[in-house]
Amino acid sequence: MCGIVGYTGMRPAVPFLMNGLRRLEYRGYDSAGVALQAGEGLLLEKQAGKVQGLADALTERASVDLDGSVCGIAHTRWATHGPPTQNNAHPHLSKERIALVHNGIIENHNSLRERLRADGYEFLSETDTEVLAHLVESHYEGDLLVALTAALKEVQGTFGVACISAEEPGVLIVARRGSPIVIGLGEDETIVASDASAIIKHTRQVIYLDDNDVARIVAGDVEIRTLDSTPVSRATSEIDWSADAAEKGGYEHYMLKEIFEQPETIRNTIRGRLDSDRGTAILSGLNLEARDLADIQRMLVVGCGTSMNAGMVGEYAVEDFAGFPAEVEQAAEFRYRNPIVGSKDLVIAISQSGETADTLAAVREAKDKGATVVGLVNVVGSTIARETGRGVYLHAGPEISVASTKAFTSQVSVLLMIALKFARSRRMSRERGMEFVREIEALPLLVEKVLEQNDRIAKVAEQFADFENAFYIGRGYMYPVALEGALKLKEISYIHAEGYHAAELKHGPIALLQDNVPVVALLNHGPGKDKTLGNVAECQARSAPILGIITEGDEEARSCVDSYIEVPYAPLHAAVIPATVALQLFSYHVARLRGCAIDQPRNLAKSVTVE
């Protein structure tokens, strides 16, 4: 959510900053801006709208100062405080000598603003960030690190910050609490960002700041202190994915590319983690010995959005196969409702980004209450990965499309492996374990079979692209798939879509059905199919057009629906994956036919770092 880039070194800063902003645009696209040390002062350019608008403005304004600047900061915004206008765009300046960009929320901005106004500061925007810029200026006596440290001590809330001063050439200061800052180390130059994808083109050597770290960076030198001024050193890590992974690779949209990557990403997720001889999963990152496994009395999964939907599959699979209680809970609710959690609970925090504020808050709550907390995270080195300290990385590679696809299928793959591991430590036979391993190993192939039907799914989408409302229904393992299918459709096509348990529809929502409200029914082969077919008949009796997701060759299901997409047969816990991929493609094609901004849907941003 929002993207920060900063550069200091020997080369012109603008190309680094603009390239970084383009890479980070998926984190917010309401406005963009840069501030540069130029000549004796600071040069500021910002625009409402996408990064391209900023690029055009910079081209028009081309100047020697702009081209010659070797230190600057830049930002792409997802609006929190104040609408997406030019004035509210970052960077924010104070007294023409401090420029600052910020991710996160300054919670006590109102009281600070009042005080700063009384001290004579003039506010040009409605943002909490401008408050921070003036606060830093109010502490500034020639040392920006000291001033930022003093300001941040007065701040409540979360921040990833980068700032520069007109009076300290080449000095870039960054800090974090709750919003990530990654420092990319080059030779005689440093590029900082809120996300490694803005850095990878230039260097793989990075330092991740910890919460309450402040760093002074000059060319290639990085000096880190904590907010209480204690010098600290943070380890250098190497980014293990390539710049190509964050490119579109010939696809029209990142979303389509990421959907098509899934056979490979699932292979990466399961590689080396299955023991086919012993019929179990090897998940050493969980750091759970046999004794720990035996002690666990309940599994609790927390996450948001798509990650929570994946968590529900985990809940079902653990109860189904391992035979002990599992629950999934919205991370946002977990923290505030005083949940009963203790040392016998295993809490699994699921997050693609590893930065989602609600999930992070749930992690902290669970840790405080003594639970064993593990992370299922995609982004290496992210806050949730580090705070949980144990878990399973998804290895799905960078997910750039705002709508999550490949992260979901990798999350489900890991959850199935967790269910297998727990089941084998309790009640599952070796033979059944070996079969389960084969079921997981078959997942990439099942996805390939769905992808082969892309053209047909695009045709089916044509019949549904003009509706404005839709319901998705499913039972058992297909219930979370219905939730995820509806989420995907609404976020990228703006069709109002609701996922419901198939049986729930008649408890209210059925009142909405008519001939222009289609129902997407998950009719995969399995125990819930006949009952769901009954629900389909109820919908048809109200004239709703039905799209069935059916098992390949299922004549009965085919004859009961108006349109269908076939998915290959798999046992239901595994069928979640091909069924979801079919719905991802369906949403994609509907959104495309409606001319939507698929990779950057309105009002959304990747990685939600505010509560």
| Stretch in the footprint of ligand F6R (CB under 6 A) among 121-129, 143-151, 298-306, 568-576 | 298-306
The residue from 2, 71, 304, 596 that is catalytic is 2
Closest CB 214 distance from ligand F6R, rounded Å = 26
Q: Within a 13 Å sphere around the CA of 494, how many CA atoms are in the beta-carbon half? A: 13
Q: What angle do CA 455, 456, 458 make, to 5 degrees?
A: 65
Binding-site member from 19, 47, 179, 306 for ligand F6R (CB under 6 A):
306
Closest CB 374 distance from ligand F6R, rounded Å = 15
Q: Is 383 in the site for ligand F6R (CB under 6 A)?
A: no
Q: Is 269 in the site for ligand F6R (CB under 6 A)?
A: no
As a whole number of angstroms, the distance between CA 245 and CA 397 comes to: 7
The DSSP string of 97-147 is TEEEEEES-BTTHHHHHHHHHHTTPPP-SS-HHHHHHHHHHHH-SS-HHHH
Site string for ligand F6R, 448-487 (x = CB under 6 A): ---------------------------------------x
Q: Is 305 in the site for ligand F6R (CB under 6 A)?
A: yes
Q: Which is nearer to ligand F6R, 46 or 335 (CB)?
A: 335
Q: Is 491 in the site for ligand F6R (CB under 6 A)?
A: yes
The SS3 call for residue 480 is helix
Closest CB 432 distance from ligand F6R, rounded Å = 31
Q: What angle do CA 103, 400, 481 make, to 5 degrees?
A: 110
As a whole number of angstroms, the distance between CA 346 and CA 298 comes to: 6
Q: Is 304 in the site for ligand F6R (CB under 6 A)?
A: yes
Catalytic, 596? Answer: no
As a whole number of angstroms, the distance between CA 44 and CA 90 comes to: 10
Closest CB 1 distance from ligand F6R, rounded Å = 9
Size of the site for ligand F6R (CB under 6 A): 15
Q: Which helix (H) or strand (E) holds 302?
A: strand 298-303
Pairing of strands 563-567, 205-208: unpaired
Q: Which residue is closest to ligand F6R by CB?
A: 305
Binding-site member from 351, 413, 493, 551 for ligand F6R (CB under 6 A):
351
Residue 201, number of CB atoms within 10 A of its CB: 15
Q: Is 381 in the site for ligand F6R (CB under 6 A)?
A: no
Binding-site member from 125, 262, 607, 609 for ligand F6R (CB under 6 A):
607
Closest CB 348 distance from ligand F6R, rounded Å = 13
In this structure, what are the phi and psi dihedrals at residue 45, rounded to the nearest 5 degrees?
Answer: -140, 125
Whether the bond between 83 and the residue before it is cis, its omega within 30 degrees of 0, is no
- Residues constituting the chain: 611
Contact 489, 587 (CB under 8 A): yes
Q: Is 404 in the site for ligand F6R (CB under 6 A)?
A: yes
Catalytic, 490? Answer: no
As a whole number of angstroms, the distance between CA 333 and CA 365 comes to: 11
Contact 481, 528 (CB under 8 A): no
Q: Which is nearer to ligand F6R, 324 or 494 (CB)?
A: 494
List all residues 6 or more positions away from 89 whose beta carbon is below 8 Å from its beta carbon.
30, 31, 32, 33, 46, 47, 48, 75, 77
As a whole number of angstroms, the distance between CA 321 and CA 236 comes to: 41
Q: Which is nearer to ligand F6R, 138 or 306 (CB)?
A: 306
Binding-site member from 265, 353, 409, 609 for ligand F6R (CB under 6 A):
353
Binding-site member from 103, 127, 359, 409 for ligand F6R (CB under 6 A):
359
Closest CB 499 distance from ligand F6R, rounded Å = 13
Q: Within a 13 Å sphere around the CA of 223, how many CA atoms are in the beta-carbon half? A: 10
Q: Is 307 in the site for ligand F6R (CB under 6 A)?
A: yes
Q: Which is nearer to ligand F6R, 308 or 423 (CB)?
A: 308
Q: Which is nearer to ligand F6R, 285 or 305 (CB)?
A: 305
Binding-site member from 155, 608, 609, 610 for ligand F6R (CB under 6 A):
608
Closest CB 607 distance from ligand F6R, rounded Å = 6
Contact 323, 427 (CB under 8 A): yes
Pairing of strands 519-523, 546-551: parallel
Token code pair at residue 333: 């609710």
| Stretch in the footprint of ligand F6R (CB under 6 A) among 110-118, 209-217, 347-355, 554-562 | 347-355
Q: Is 403 in the site for ligand F6R (CB under 6 A)?
A: yes
Closest CB 246 distance from ligand F6R, rounded Å = 16
Closest CB 310 distance from ligand F6R, rounded Å = 9
The residue from 50, 490, 529, 606 that is catalytic is 606
Binding-site member from 356, 383, 584, 600 for ligand F6R (CB under 6 A):
356
| Stretch in the footprint of ligand F6R (CB under 6 A) among 138-146, 351-359, 469-477, 506-514 | 351-359
Q: Which amino acid is at 357?
A: A
In this structure, what are the phi and psi dihedrals at residue 29, rounded to the nearest 5 degrees?
Answer: -140, 35
Q: Which is nearer to ligand F6R, 91 or 601 (CB)?
A: 601
User: Closest Cα to residue 340, out of 281, 300, 400?
Assistant: 300
Q: Which amino acid is at 111?
A: S
As a whole number of angstroms, the distance between CA 222 and CA 40 comes to: 24
Q: Is 76 in the site for ligand F6R (CB under 6 A)?
A: no
Binding site for ligand F6R (CB under 6 A): 304-307, 351-353, 356, 359, 403-404, 487, 491, 607-608
Active site residues: 2, 606
